[in-house]
Each structure stands twice: as structure tokens, then as C-alpha cells.
Chains A and B, each alone.
Chain A
Amino acid sequence: MNILLKEISKKFGSQIILKDLTLEIKAGEFHVLLGPSGEGKTTILKIIAGLISPDKGQVIFNNIVMNKIPPQKRKIGFLFQDFALFPHLNVYENIAFPLKTRGIRKTKIKKLVDKYLTLFKLNKHKYKYPHQLSGGEKQKVALARALIFSPKVLLLDEPLSHLDAWQRDELRKELKQIQTSTKITTIYVTHDQSDAIELADKISIIHKGRIEQTGKIEEIFYHPKSKFIASFIGIKNIFKGKVLKYNHKNIVKIYEKCLTKELNLIINTYNSFEKGQKVYLCIHPENVLIEKQAKDENCFRGHIRELINQGPIICAILDINGLKVYSFITKEKQNELKLEKNRSIWVYLPKEHLIIYNHTIDI
């Protein structure tokens, strides 16, 4: 089912939660709404489900305006952050609930519930009450309950946030598997990038009640459209600078207080920036390269401040003229270049990996 949110606005008291938000989710898509807490992600889900009415704008399912349709008639499966299992009903009764509300015959209910109990490996917990289940089991019950009536859309509100790391991995895989096999249009709200990377067909970044960027994972992570997105998705190297034109080249002069010596970086000429334009310059740590010898462009002498072991990779904190630059390297590379603390190195910042945004903050 296609979902279109058209110019949705919502206020709670005087606080603006959503402002003219427009978002389209295609049928069968696994769409992740990614953003920090308190940015209106859950409100978006509740508006789609009909649990909250927007102050302005339209909720459209397959070209039909749904604003006046109550939640119980929208055919939406909703997985709540804290599971929202009915504490007075056992596992079987919880899963059967949406079928009972639809007046389905007892024999059919039993058949369907048994099928879902098997599918989610919940048979041995059939007669247990929610307080007798672990977090992962509760989540499975909630998921089975949300899917058993074959909803047209599945909405998931940070469903893995209360689980242990191993349970998260397992349930992430199950979720992806279920979505792939059922092709149900799914909207997943999270503040966790790893959920987004593993699950999403498309990601929308929410910031201050608006969609800041929508795109595939690579677009968001390698071409973030704003400084906010860059810092939210974990790009640690973000520097303030000013564009200088020099011999038909665009050069960005870095303006950071910590610099002991001038630092200029060449950026791609297709970046149409005016001379004097204030910018943010970002680069992913994995794109910052440590070299034995100097390259012709954007290669600077520096030293290693620290090497932090992060499992399969090493985070090298480098120093270029007092500027702190993060680089991810492999153990092989560390051994090959004999990298150690305080060692002098060449740091290469390839211009094709430099991401640049306008900004208006005074330098």
C-alpha cells in the first residue's frame, strides 16, 4: 500500500512537533524514519495509524484520504516500543485479540493463532502471561499479534530498544525476513543507525519536525545533505571553513581555533561555491587515508595522537597542525605502516570524499 503524508503539521500545546511534513512511502518498501529522540518520529507513526489527528495536512493510503477513518478501520499493524501486550490475557489470547475484534469464528482463530505460535516459536509459551515472558518473547508476541490479521501496513516504533544486543540481532533478522517474504509496507522508527543500515530500503532523516533527507542508505551515509545529518550519522570529521578561489580551483581554508598553522583543502570544482562562502567540510573516517608518501593534493604532514582498538578496525586519532582528524584503519594497514602513537605520517583527504555544506555561523 502506498502511503503519502501531505503537508502534515502537528502541535502539542505551544510546541510544534511536525511542520508541513511531506513523505511518500511506496508499496512494499521498508522505510526507516531515523532521528534523535523527541523529533516527532512516533507522532508520525501515530498520525498514520489514526491515533493522533494532524492539525493540518492529509494522510493518504492508495490515493484515499484517511484523515477521518478511525484506527480500528485502517488495517494497520502497530508494534509499540514497550510491546503494549494486554497483561490480563495470555500469549494465545493476545495473539487472537485482533481476530476476535473482527468476529472471526473460534475454529479459524485457533488454526491461525497456532500457525503464528509455530512461526514465531512461541508454542511453549502459549499459556504464559506477559509478565512471565522475556523481552524478546514479548516482542515476538507483539509482532505476531500485529501481523496475524494481515494488515496492509506495519508500523514499528523503536521495537528493539528494550532488548539485549543478541536479541536485537536475532529480531532484526526476523523482521527483515518477514518483511521480505510478506512484502508488507513497513515504517520503522529508530534513533539507531545500525537498525537503519540493516533493515531499510529507504531512510528518512527527521529533524525539528521535518524530513531533512530521504534516500537510500548510501545516499544518506555518503551524501548527507546537511551538517546535522552528517553529525547524526556519525561523521566525526566536521570542520568549519571558508571558500577561496585560487587558480580556477576551489579551496577551502579551514577555520578552527585549534589550528596552529594554516590548512587549505582543495575541493571538487563542480561544487559551485562563491568566494568567501562559509562552509562545513566533512569527511567519513574511513575515507581519511594514512600514507607513507605525500600525494599531490590534500596530503598533510601530521602525527598519530592515539590508536583505539575497536574490534575489527582501529580508530586512529590524527593531528594535522593541531586539528583532530579521525581515521579508521585495518590491523593489516597498522602493521604494514608500523603505525604507533606519536609517529609522523602523511594524512590524505581525497577531494572526491569531501562533503561540503553552506553555513551562516560566524567564523
Chain B
Amino acid sequence: MFHVFVKKNKNFFELILYTISILFFLFIFTVLFSLFISTSFIEFLNQLNSPLVIYSIFISLETSLIVVIITLIIGLPVSYILALSNLKFKKLLDTLLDLPIIIPPLVSGLALLVLLSANGLLGKLLYDWNIKIIFTKKGIIIAQLFVASPFFIKMVKEGISKIPKDILDASSTLGASPSYTFFYIIIPMARKELISGIIMTWARALGEFGATAMVAGCIPQKTSTMTITIYTQAMSGDLSSSIALALILITLSSLIILIIKSKFS
């Protein structure tokens, strides 16, 4: 019945579809654009001279880049194992990897806080060695790593899984050791997913708020990343610096998406 209705009223039906789609995109555009028109370019430049904003930008870039490097070091072997090994509990590991992506960052942050605080399972041990994680830059890195690294691992795993088995077999019969195959066949063939994974991880780390706030707190010019500063400044009534930082994040995110779509889709 519905099928017949759609056929008879194709133009009317399409009109509804187009209208809903246009309204939806208008909604997204309006939300983002409202930030751009809420400040002037001079005000934006002024805010960029504020020590708090500058500190936030630098600490965000620093921590997110460290997270990318650590993710590369940890993520490549994990992706390889998940893609190519015959582990019996691979599905379980894969599900475990989904959790940091699915659960709310605040919950992730809470779990990290419980684990790493002075009375926590690991925190106790670290405090004995005089290593403090909570309310420090290390805390920011760990929180971002926990939330962002699964994006990289999942993407690269997909990339490696897509390589035909015969290609890997051919490499071995041609004299390549597993490590040679990894560096000269697997990585180049999964490079699209590898680069997309790096960009996604970096973007996710840069935009991380919930987990970071829980683990590192919101200490100005100590643990105040860009997102944390946006939140604290907006809550204290200083919208100008929040908007400036938000514009930087929106511009960066847009650039990242454009790069991924144009180069790797």
C-alpha cells in the first residue's frame, strides 16, 4: 500500500524528503554559524592574546600530539593482532575496544579517577613511586588516550583486514619476514586508514572534555585544555574567550574532515 502511495505521489513524497533534509542541514549550519557572528574579528584576535587562551591552545596541541604518538606506538601492534591473529577471544577484545567509544566520556573519566587516585588500585602504587597523575598534564594525556586511541585501532584494524590473505602469503613466500611484511606491505597498503586514524585520534583528543575534566580537573593554566577553558569561561560568564577557542576548534575540525574526505575517501 505504502509502495503504491509513494509511486503515485512521487513528487509530493520527494518534496517532503527534501524539506526535512534542508531543515536539518539548516539547523546544523545555524548552530555553528551563530558562533561566527557572535564575535568580531578584532575581538577574536584580542582573545588570542589572552594568556589563558594561549595556554589552552598550547596544552591542547601538546597533549593531543603526545596522545597521537603513544597511540601509534601502541595502536599498530594491537591493530595487527586484532586483524590477523587467530586469537580465540578476538571478538571479546574487539567489544572491549568499542567501550571507550560508546560509554560517555564522563564515565570513562570517573573510572580513570577511581583507578588513578591516591587510594585507587594503580594510583596507590604510583603515589609510592611519587608519580602523580590526577590533576596533572599526565592525567590529561591518559584521559585523551583512553577515549581517542580506539578510533585509530579500529580504523587501522579495518585497513589491515582488507588486505587479501594471498598478498601476505605472497610476501612470505618471496622471502619477507613477518616484520618486513609489516613495514613494507601492511603499513603501505593500510596507509589510508592509518592516516585517517591518526587524524581522527588527534581530533578526538583535541576535543576531549568529559574524561579530561574528571581526571585532570579544570585548573586554569595547569590542566585547562581548550575544551575545559571553553566550559569554565562560559560558566563564569566570559563568553568571548570561549567563543574564540570554539571557533578555533570548529575551524580545525572542518579542515580535518575536509582533508579526510578529499584525500582518503
What chain B residues lie within 8 Å of A205 (beta carbons)? none
* Pairwise interchain contact B189-A98, C-beta atoms closer than 8 A: no
Residue ranges of B at the interface with A (Cβ–Cβ < 8 Å): 164, 166-167, 169-177, 180, 185, 188-189, 191
Task: State the CA gap A194–B180 with chains docked (Å).
Answer: 39
Question: Nearest Cβ distance between residue A55 and chain B, in whole angstroms?
Answer: 15
Task: State the CA gap A70–B175 with chains docked (Å).
Answer: 10
* Pairwise interchain contact A51-B189, C-beta atoms closer than 8 A: no
What chain A residues lie within 8 Å of B167 (beta carbons)? 84, 86
With A86-B185, A88-B189 known as contacts, the answer to whether A71 contacts B172 (CB < 8 A) is yes
* Pairwise interchain contact B169-A101, C-beta atoms closer than 8 A: no
* Pairwise interchain contact B173-A77, C-beta atoms closer than 8 A: yes
Any B CB within 8 A of the CB of A168: no
* Pairwise interchain contact A98-B174, C-beta atoms closer than 8 A: yes
Q: Which of A51, A86, A88 contacts B173 (CB under 8 A)?
A: A51
Any B CB within 8 A of the CB of A266: no
* Pairwise interchain contact B176-A84, C-beta atoms closer than 8 A: no
Number of A residues with CB within 8 Å of any CB on chain B: 25
Question: Nearest Cβ distance between residue A34 and chain B, in whole angstroms?
Answer: 22
What chain B residues lie within 8 Å of A86 (beta carbons)? 167, 170-171, 185, 189
Residue ranges of A at the interface with B (Cβ–Cβ < 8 Å): 46, 49-51, 70-72, 74, 76-78, 80-82, 84, 86-88, 97-98, 101-102, 145-146, 149
Question: Nearest Cβ distance between residue A75 and chain B, in whole angstroms?
Answer: 8
What chain B residues lie within 8 Å of A77 (beta carbons)? 173
Task: State the CA gap A81–B170 with chains docked (Å).
Answer: 11
Closest A residue by C-beta to B187: A88
What chain B residues lie within 8 Å of A46 (beta carbons)? 169
Q: Which of B170, B171, B175, B185 contacts A149 (CB under 8 A)?
A: B175
Question: Nearest Cβ distance between residue B159 and chain A, in whole angstroms?
Answer: 12
Q: Which of B164, B174, B191 contacts A97 (CB under 8 A)?
A: B174
Dominant SS among interface residues on chain B: helix
What chain B residues lie within 8 Å of A49 (beta carbons)? 169, 173
The 5 closest A-B pairs by CB, nearest first: A101-B175, A84-B170, A98-B174, A71-B172, A84-B166
Q: Which of A80, A101, A146, A149 contacts B180 (CB under 8 A)?
A: A101
* Pairwise interchain contact A51-B169, C-beta atoms closer than 8 A: yes
B170, B177, B185, B188, most chain A CB atoms within 10 A: B170
* Pairwise interchain contact A82-B166, C-beta atoms closer than 8 A: yes
Q: Which of A80, A97, A98, A102 contacts B169 (CB under 8 A)?
A: A80
* Pairwise interchain contact B172-A70, C-beta atoms closer than 8 A: yes
Closest B residue by C-beta to A80: B166
* Pairwise interchain contact A84-B169, C-beta atoms closer than 8 A: yes
Taking A84-B166, A88-B188, A149-B175 as given, write out 7 further A-B residue pairs in contact, using a Cβ cutoff of 8 Å, ordered by the A residue number: A50-B172, A71-B172, A72-B175, A82-B166, A84-B167, A84-B170, A101-B180
Jot down 30 A-B pairs with beta carbons below 8 A, ordered by A.
A51-B172, A70-B172, A71-B172, A72-B172, A72-B174, A72-B176, A72-B177, A74-B173, A76-B173, A77-B173, A78-B170, A80-B166, A80-B169, A82-B164, A82-B166, A84-B164, A84-B166, A84-B167, A84-B169, A84-B170, A86-B170, A86-B171, A86-B185, A87-B189, A88-B189, A97-B174, A101-B174, A101-B175, A101-B177, A146-B174
* Pairwise interchain contact A78-B175, C-beta atoms closer than 8 A: no
Task: State the CA gap A82–B165 with chains docked (Å).
Answer: 11
What chain A residues lie within 8 Å of B164 (beta carbons)? 82, 84
B172, B180, B189, most chain A CB atoms within 10 A: B172
* Pairwise interchain contact A145-B166, C-beta atoms closer than 8 A: no
* Pairwise interchain contact B174-A145, C-beta atoms closer than 8 A: yes
What chain B residues lie within 8 Å of A72 (beta carbons)? 172-177
Task: State the CA gap A98–B172 with chains docked (Å).
Answer: 9
What chain A residues lie within 8 Å of B172 (beta carbons)? 50-51, 70-72
What chain B residues lie within 8 Å of A81 (beta carbons)? 166
With A86-B167, A86-B185, A88-B189 known as contacts, the answer to whether A78 contacts B176 (CB < 8 A) is no
Closest B residue by C-beta to A102: B175
* Pairwise interchain contact B176-A101, C-beta atoms closer than 8 A: yes
Task: State the CA gap A95–B176 with chains docked (Å).
Answer: 14
Task: State the CA gap A49–B168 with chains docked (Å).
Answer: 13
* Pairwise interchain contact B170-A80, C-beta atoms closer than 8 A: yes
Question: Nearest Cβ distance between residue B10 and chain A, in whole angstroms?
Answer: 40
Closest B residue by C-beta to A76: B173
With A86-B185, A88-B189 known as contacts, the answer to whether A98 contacts B166 (CB < 8 A) is no
Task: State the CA gap A87–B185 with chains docked (Å).
Answer: 9
Question: Nearest Cβ distance between residue A186 and chain B, in whole angstroms?
Answer: 15
A70, A72, A87, most chain B CB atoms within 10 A: A72
Task: State the CA gap A87–B184 with chains docked (Å).
Answer: 12
Closest B residue by C-beta to A93: B184
Question: Nearest Cβ distance between residue A337 and chain B, in whole angstroms?
Answer: 53
With A84-B164, A86-B185, A87-B189 known as contacts, the answer to whether A78 contacts B169 (CB < 8 A) is yes
What chain A residues lie within 8 Å of B171 (beta carbons)? 86, 97
A70, A74, A86, most chain B CB atoms within 10 A: A86
Question: Nearest Cβ distance between residue B171 and chain A, in whole angstroms?
Answer: 8
Question: Nearest Cβ distance between residue B184 and chain A, in whole angstroms?
Answer: 8
